[in-house]
């Protein structure tokens, strides 16, 4: 790794503007963002284009590097098992999902503020990634109070070197964060999504310690405090976040695309009209989250066409269930096949929202058992999240 970008990028004023954007004036995180050289933690990154994932190299264009690093945006650094640091210049990956990134600075600050971190806190940073978030913690607390963990030895090694070059030497663990953890402290902040909550996190938290994480498949931020019984209790915050789910290897397991391909092309075993318009579920965050609570694991695709209002939404599940919702000329037709009717789950969510004016997930009370089972409750609505 090279540190030639130290003088290549004029970073001080962009970092100051970024800090003013992502942290309130009185926030102690503003100074951390203002004085941390984010570009040095992301010397290369991937950009999504219509042709695929294109490699960007900061030193090739310092002005573009500055603009990318000091905007409040996530920079993808790993696609599948290919890290940008190891990719050949000029390469474009035609497929693959992000497996590591440098998170939006505003989202990092939000998660840290939810954790109520003070000067005496000892923090476990779950999902080291580039090490930028770890650097903010080190600036705020001192490196002796910070531990970071990631499953990928390259990520922890690269982060350790870049942090060391800045004078910070937090403890870096290379391990599956959902398994046993060699750490004890009073704050856990995860920038990866989990489901259920790892029992090892609850065991590692000191009494009264706080956990802040998101639930895989949802945009729910859980803020919960350790209880005397070894579990935790808290609330689903009203804000939203989306993080990559944890992984145990270099890439996520390959998915069976058979049901998705059937959804694209086949006539349904059941065909009917719908009173609801076709929805881009993934970008309707509350609908998507509620749907994944009652029917986890559904994959979505949303298709639009140039110069026409027509659109198509696909739903598929690894159990072989599938659905295609087609909207043509204002008429919506639903095709479904496989063992379950996936569209009925989506209708349940929409009907709940129409009847009550909102979905119950935001502000729900949270209880977590010592083995990580999550229960959400708001009013008469209750949901248990096991996997």
Mean pLDDT of 40-62: 96
What pLDDT does 172 receive?
Answer: 98
- Assign 219 to helix, strand or coil: coil
Q: Is the pLDDT of residue 7 over 80?
A: no
- The pLDDT confidence band at residue 3, using thresholds 50, 70 and 90, is very low
What pLDDT does 2 receive?
Answer: 46
Are the C-beta atoms of 183 and 205 separated by less than 8 Å?
no
What pLDDT does 250 receive?
Answer: 84
What pLDDT does 4 receive?
Answer: 52
Q: Is the pLDDT of residue 1 over 50?
A: no
The pLDDT tens digits of the residues spanning 215-264 come to 999 999 999 999 999 999 999 999 999 999 998 888 888 888 899 999 99
Strands 52-57 and 44-49: antiparallel
Compute how many other C-beta atoms are within 10 angstroms of the C-beta atom of residue 230: 15
Q: Is the pLDDT of residue 6 over 90?
A: no
pTM equals: 0.94
> Residue 123: which of 147, 159, 156, 151 has the closest Cα?
147
Query: What percent of the chain is modeled with pLDDT above 70?
Result: 98
What pLDDT does 273 receive?
Answer: 96
Mean pLDDT of 285-289: 96
What pLDDT does 5 receive?
Answer: 55
The pLDDT tens digits of the residues spanning 96-110 come to 999 999 999 999 999
The pLDDT tens digits of the residues spanning 296-327 come to 999 999 999 887 789 999 999 999 999 999 99
Spatial CB neighbours of 20, under 8 Å, sequence gap ≥ 6: 30
What pLDDT does 298 receive?
Answer: 96
What pLDDT does 309 receive?
Answer: 80
> Residue 240: which of 215, 262, 269, 261 has the closest Cα?
215
Mean pLDDT, the chain, whole residue set: 95
Q: Which helix (H) or strand (E) holds 76?
A: strand 75-79
365 to each of 213, 233, 234, 318, 368, how far by Cα in Å? 15, 8, 6, 31, 10
């Amino acid at each position: 790794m090279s540190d030639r970008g130290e003088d290549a990028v004029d970073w001080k004023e962009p970092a100051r503007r970024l800090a003013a954007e992502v942290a309130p004036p009185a926030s102690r995180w503003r100074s951390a963002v203002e004085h941390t050289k984010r570009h040095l933690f992301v010397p290369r990154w991937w950009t999504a284009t219509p042709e695929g994932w294109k490699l960007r190299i900061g030193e090739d264009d310092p002005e573009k590097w500055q603009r990318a690093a000091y905007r409040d945006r996530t920079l993808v650094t790993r696609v599948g098992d290919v890290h940008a640091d190891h990719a050949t210049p000029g390469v474009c990956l035609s497929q693959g999902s992000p497996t590591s990134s440098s998170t939006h600075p505003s989202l990092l600050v939000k998660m840290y503020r939810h954790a109520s971190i003070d000067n005496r806190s000892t923090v476990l940073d779950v999902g080291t990634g580039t090490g930028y978030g770890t650097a903010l913690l080190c600036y705020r607390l001192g490196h002796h109070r910070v531990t970071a963990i990631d499953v990928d030895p390259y990520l922890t090694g690269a982060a350790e070197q870049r942090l060391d070059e800045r004078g910070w030497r937090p403890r870096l663990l290379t391990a599956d964060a959902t398994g046993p953890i060699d750490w004890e402290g009073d704050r856990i902040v995860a920038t990866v999504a989990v489901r259920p909550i790892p029992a090892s996190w609850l065991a590692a938290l000191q009494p009264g310690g706080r956990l802040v994480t998101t639930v895989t498949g949802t945009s729910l931020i859980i803020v919960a405090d350790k209880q005397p019984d070894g579990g935790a209790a808290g609330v689903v915050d009203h804000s939203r976040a989306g993080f990559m789910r944890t992984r145990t290897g270099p890439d996520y397991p390959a998915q069976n695309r058979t049901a998705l391909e059937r959804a694209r092309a086949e006539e349904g075993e059941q065909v009917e009209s719908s009173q609801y318009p076709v929805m881009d579920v993934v970008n309707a965050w509350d609908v998507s989250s509620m749907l994944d609570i009652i029917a986890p694991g559904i994959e979505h695709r949303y298709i639009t066409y140039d110069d026409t209002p027509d659109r198509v939404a696909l739903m598929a599940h690894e159990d072989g269930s599938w659905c295609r919702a087609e909207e043509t000329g204002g008429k919506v037709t639903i095709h479904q096949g496989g063992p379950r009717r996936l569209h009925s789950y989506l209708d349940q969510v929409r009907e709940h929202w129409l009847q009550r004016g909102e979905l119950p997930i935001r502000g729900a009370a949270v209880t977590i058992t010592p083995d990580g089972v999550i229960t959400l409750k708001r009013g008469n609505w209750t949901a248990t999240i096991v996997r």
